[in-house]
A and B are shown apart, each in its own frame.
Chain A
Amino acid sequence: QQQVKQSPQSLIVQKGGISIINCAYENTAFDYFPWYQQFPGKGPALLIAIRPDVSEKKEGRFTISFNKSAKQFSLHIMDSQPGDSATYFCAASGNAGNNRKLIWGLGTSLAVNP
């Protein structure tokens, strides 16, 4: 059962453009929503994360937008660069018991053309 649905599966963006990846979740007990970046042959690395008490969080060129009522959150990469080409995963978890496990989206492969 896929509790976090991520789209699109793949994305091609021109250098300087905006990359947008979307995720939707089902469990209203989730209160932690991270995004991870993975390069080929490497483990995922935490990029940015948000909790539901805010609707947006920005770190450099990366922004998370969060819509609690719609149970959706998205990653925006501004001024996309070829070095951003990687696979991006969204995830969600709660803070108690089995809800503390991260539930992962299936990933989005991003290619930024020079």
Chain B
Amino acid sequence: DGGITQSPKYLFRKEGQNVTLSCEQNLNHDAMYWYRQDPGQGLRLIYYSQIVNDFQKGDIAEGYSVSREKKESFPLTVTSAQKNPTAFYLCASRSLVGGYTFGSGTRLTVV
């Protein structure tokens, strides 16, 4: 089955720690996206990549970093510079005709 796999489903981060969220797709989509979702705030774009080895900042990129070394993979690192990282993180990829496919999300909690 084609789709997007996000892991882990739940992640706990200590203060001052960097953590990396995994996103893998087997849909052969060129474009991939990372969103953050907080209650009542909809989907906010963190980073996106339209092609391998290239990515752009979204609306709330501060405290986050990404890489796109392979078409299938777009990991997101939440750095210690992100002061309020507790949220639900969603990865998506996009087909040429416009539809986004989302993963099932990673819920990150600071402990």
Which residues of A, 59-114, contact B by the 8 Å Cβ criterion? Answer: 89, 93, 95, 100-102, 104-107
Number of B residues near A (Cβ < 8 Å) is 23
Over the window 52-84 of chain B, the binary record of Cβ atoms lying under 8 Å from chain A Cβ atoms (1 yes, 0 no) is 000000000000000000000000000000000
Judged by a CB distance under 8 angstroms, whether A49 is at the interface is yes
For the complex formed, measure the closest distance between the CB of B95 and the CB atoms of chain A, giving whole angstroms. Answer: 10
Chain A residue with Cβ nearest B101: A46
- In the complex, per-residue mask of B40-52: 1 if CB is within 8 Å of any chain A CB, else 0: 1111010010100
Query: With a CB–CB cut-off of 8 A, which chain A residues contact B50?
Result: 100
Q: Which residue of B lies closest to A105 (CB)?
A: B42
Q: Do the beta carbons of A46 and B42 come within 8 Å of each other?
A: no
B100 near A106: Cβ-Cβ < 8 Å = no
A102 to chain B, nearest CB (A): 6
Q: Which residues of chain A have C-beta atoms less than 8 A from B6's C-beta?
A: 43
Q: How many residues of A contact B (CB 8 A)?
A: 21
Q: B99 touches which one: A46, A101, A107 (CB < 8 A)?
A: A46
A34 touches B104 (CB 8 A): no
- 24 A-B residue contacts at CB 8 Å? A9-B40, A36-B100, A43-B4, A43-B90, A43-B102, A43-B104, A43-B105, A44-B43, A44-B100, A45-B102, A46-B99, A46-B101, A89-B42, A93-B98, A95-B98, A100-B31, A100-B50, A101-B33, A101-B48, A102-B100, A104-B43, A105-B42, A106-B41, A107-B42
9 nearest CB pairs, A to B: A43-B102, A106-B42, A32-B98, A104-B43, A107-B42, A46-B99, A43-B104, A44-B102, A43-B105
